[in-house]
Amino acid sequence: MPPKPTKTNAARLLDSLGIAYELRPYEVDPNDLTAISVAHKIGLPPEQVFKTLLTHTSDKEHIFAVIPGDSELDLKKLAAAAGARNAELAALKEVEPLTGYIRGGVTVLSAKKPFRAFADETIELFDILSISAGQRGLQLLMKPADYLRATNAELADLTKT
C-alpha cells in the first residue's frame, strides 16, 4: 500500500474551513501533465477533473480560470466575466512566483496571492470534482459547492464550444 500522502497547504485550508475532501495520489509523468492524463490515473472522467489556469486581463489583473480537463479556455468569455476588455494566459515563468505552485500543481486554494477566481459553470454538474492539491501527483476530490465556498470562485461559461 502506498504511503499516505502528505497534506498540502490547500488541504490544510480545507481542514480549517471544515470541508471534507479526499487526497488521491497518482504517478506523475513530467512529459504529460495534462488533466486528461491525470483523470485516467485517478479513475475519473476528464470533464470531472478541473484544471486551474493563471491568466491576466487588459487591466493587469491576474485571475484564476478553473475549467474541465477536457476543455479549452475561451479567453473572451473569461474577460467578459471579469469585466475586462481582454484576457490572456499568464507566461509560465510568472506562474510559480505569483501562485507558489508549479505547472501541473496549480490550485486556487492557498495560492500565494488571493487572485479572483472564475469556475466554469459545468462544475456544478458533478457530485464530486477533482482539482490539484497544490503539487504534482496529488489531487483533491471534493463537492463542487465546497470548492466554490473555499475559493469564492464566481461561476461563468468559460470554455470554447
Q: What is the DSSP letter of 161?
A: -
53-107 pLDDT per residue, tens? 999 999 999 999 999 999 999 999 999 999 999 999 999 999 999 999 999 999 9
83-93 pLDDT per residue, tens? 999 999 999 99
- Minimal CA–CA distance to 138: which of 10, 1, 14? 10
Q: Which domains does the chain have, with CATH numbers?
A: 9-152 (3.90.960.10)
Q: What is the DSSP letter of 143?
A: -
Model pLDDT, residue 126: 96
All three cell numbers of 32: 504529460
Model pLDDT, residue 2: 55
- Minimal CA–CA distance to 103: which of 150, 38, 6? 38
Give the global pTM: 0.94
